[in-house]
Structure 1
């Protein structure tokens, strides 16, 4: 472990650039995607552009936007979540990308389809059904959704590919595919929601087929050096103990087809980054992902804070925690980037303070103090 003073050590380690395919990210700090519902009509406005640009100007190297719905009617259930299709929506996103670049940052949109999480009658397309691998919700009930046909699968694959091509065309630096937290791609990956008996269901490799086909279609729709990121998790939005893989071997079976299909970097979502993923090793999920695939990885989960974000949703505050453990792992190359969520939400200057060695200026996270997400 380094004996360098904590402030200068953090600045030194986190300020190193990193390459994701053809993109050079100026430092190791990423902004985690956080749903905000501040885009009426699915259109990201000037306030959204300012929100992201403010954090880029303060030193965030890579911004991953909040989830944005791909062009499939069943993709979402809110008319205030941004969409990545439509003339007005894409004009808004173009301004977001331009603003972040003008502030010195890089940015990728997180492309999203919620699948069976969708509730009947919700906007933006009230008549659209919830769809998923088997028509089963995260709690195991069948609900009002339907199992996807081959035509449905093809439509969603095409929607992701079109969104990725659009992202490159309007000036984004890459894309992230949302395959985590129990949403559509994750519903195929997880045995709890994937009961299919065709080529898209069964063992872990078969359950990966749909996500791998999306990755391959996205890869084919963009330039060879355009980064494709894939976010995944073990846990689901209402089942924090759920696991895609109980062993490293099972995880390797899931990740290998995705890497082969064209994923350039994995964003491994955990609630607490410091927890080991499997018995017998201190590696976290991002660490195991890098070891098994050889791809760059992003870690996330209560970075700089002492409590996970689930408790924050319940109104609990979190105190500032030491970054020493995080920096030790970065020095060992366990992972390549660090995604920061709540800390950046409350303090847009978080990255600047860390990179400038001003750790004493970091504050605790108090959800009650957030009057606006600016």
Structure 2
């Protein structure tokens, strides 16, 4: 591979934290923890190998936040109990020991929950049924149930869950937390006019639909302090509606990212199918470019950036500050070390790697990683 993507290996900052390069592992659903959400040795080795492979930071899979309605998948990892927190501690320590920052993505499944250890019903901003069936590869089948509308007290409970999970993350030693406001899960459901039909201060105008996100950012920041990273992930696409786009296009993007830019988040992480394609129709900005332009925050781009030249171009063009890769990181947990040494990258094989527990069979892979 005749490459010299130097920009990918420049150090950078998120908040007060220095990252050794611009490669970040994006969050990926793994469903490989214990039934009660406790991360185990499989989870430990899974994350450790990304740190060994040269990534500057690793963002976890979506971690559920409470013992009520937040869990989205069976065997999903949690940060909802003291037991969860204690189980994360050695994993966090090991990832950091091998040179990577570790960020916990905090997630509430909302209407897209398809497996919950604690509750049998789903909740959403308004009564809503996702338009597609559950995802078989993550243990679901058939249609989603109709989610019940959250009460005002329910909204407070959701926020309390996120805040407590963020505190647990800090106590476990994580460098930061990322609020999952993308892909059709609960926070994104509040943002979506097609799902959020509320008539109170959390519904109606786009500004009102942003209210839960901005309140939650502030409450999490107040709970964890100024030194811990607080980020948010944003998308247009949803897991059960991948073609969805904001109805106002760039105008909506301007409102959303300008509003987030006024909050205390350290970064905005964009989830997109293709980070280099126009985000709102022909001739428009990319999602990352819009986030950077309107928010003035640090931006992480994610979406089809497995080609190092493409990832470097996003950074060189000033559209983002960091490049997150997901599926390519599953195929090559040592992507940064390989790229830096001019080595080839293995192609992503979804038949093998997208099986949630397939990497368990590759336990010996860590011995074959290209390390620094």
**How many residues are aligned here?**
346
1:67 paired with 2:62, answer: yes
TM-score, normalization: structure 2? Answer: 0.88
Q: What are the within-5 Å matches in structure 2 for residues 149-164 of structure 1?
A: 149-164=151-166
1:315-354 per-position Cα deviation (integer Å, ceiling 9, x unaligned): xxxxxxx433332221122101111111111222222101
- Tell me whether 340-349 or 244-253 shows the greater mean CA deviation: 244-253
1:84 paired with 2:79, answer: yes
**Cα distance in 1 for residues equivalent to 2:91 and 2:154:** 31
Match of 1:289 among 280, 291, 300: 291
**Cα distance in 1 for residues equivalent to 2:172 and 2:178:** 15
Secondary structure of 1:261's match?
coil
What is aligned with 1:323? 308
Instruction: Kindly report the root-mean-square deviation, in angstroms, between the aligned alpha carbons of the 2 structures.
Output: 2.0
Q: What are the within-5 Å matches in structure 2 for residues 345-364 of structure 1?
A: 345-358=330-343, 361-364=344-347
**Cα distance in 1 for residues equivalent to 2:24 and 2:144:** 37
**Cα distance in 2 for residues equivalent to 1:124 and 1:256:** 38
Preserved contact between residue 170 and residue 176 of structure 2 (Cα < 8 Å): yes
* Pair 1:168–1:142, CA change in 2 (3 A): closer
What is aligned with 2:189? 187
* Pair 1:50–1:224, CA change in 2 (3 A): same
1:133 paired with 2:113, answer: no
Preserved contact between residue 72 and residue 155 of structure 1 (Cα < 8 Å): no
**Cα distance in 1 for residues equivalent to 2:292 and 2:56:** 20
**Cα distance in 2 for residues equivalent to 1:154 and 1:327:** 41
Secondary structure of 1:13's match?
helix
Q: What are the within-5 Å matches in structure 2 for residues 224-243 of structure 1?
A: 224-243=226-245
TM-score, normalization: structure 1? Answer: 0.87
Preserved contact between residue 67 and residue 80 of structure 2 (Cα < 8 Å): no
What is aligned with 2:13? 19
Secondary structure of 2:258's match?
helix
- Cα deviation, residue 278, structure 1: 3.1
**Cα distance in 2 for residues equivalent to 1:79 and 1:117:** 13
Secondary structure of 1:303's match?
coil
Preserved contact between residue 255 and residue 293 of structure 1 (Cα < 8 Å): yes
**Cα distance in 1 for residues equivalent to 2:63 and 2:144:** 26
1:367 paired with 2:350, answer: yes
**Cα distance in 2 for residues equivalent to 1:249 and 1:159:** 32
- Cα deviation, residue 246, structure 1: 3.2
Please list every run of 5 or more consecutive structure 2 residues that lacks an aligned counterpart in the other structure.
Answer: 133-142, 363-372
Preserved contact between residue 304 and residue 325 of structure 2 (Cα < 8 Å): yes
**Cα distance in 2 for residues equivalent to 1:245 and 1:170:** 40
Please list every run of 5 or more consecutive structure 1 residues that lacks an aligned counterpart in the other structure.
Answer: 305-321
Deviant stretches of 4+, over 4 Å: 140-143, 279-282
Q: What are the within-5 Å matches in structure 2 for residues 25-174 of structure 1?
A: 25-40=19-34, 41-119=36-114, 122-127=115-120, 129-139=121-131, 143-174=145-176
**Cα distance in 2 for residues equivalent to 1:114 and 1:228:** 20
* Pair 1:142–1:101, CA change in 2 (3 A): closer
**Cα distance in 1 for residues equivalent to 2:144 and 2:197:** 12
1:129-162 per-position Cα deviation (integer Å, ceiling 9, x unaligned): 3111112123399944211111001111111111
Secondary structure of 1:53's match?
helix
**Cα distance in 2 for residues equivalent to 1:280 and 1:6:** 32
Secondary structure of 1:66's match?
strand
**Cα distance in 2 for residues equivalent to 1:73 and 1:334:** 38
Preserved contact between residue 59 and residue 355 of structure 1 (Cα < 8 Å): no
What is aligned with 2:253? 251
**Cα distance in 1 for residues equivalent to 2:46 and 2:302:** 20
**Cα distance in 1 for residues equivalent to 2:191 and 2:260:** 11
Secondary structure of 1:372's match?
helix
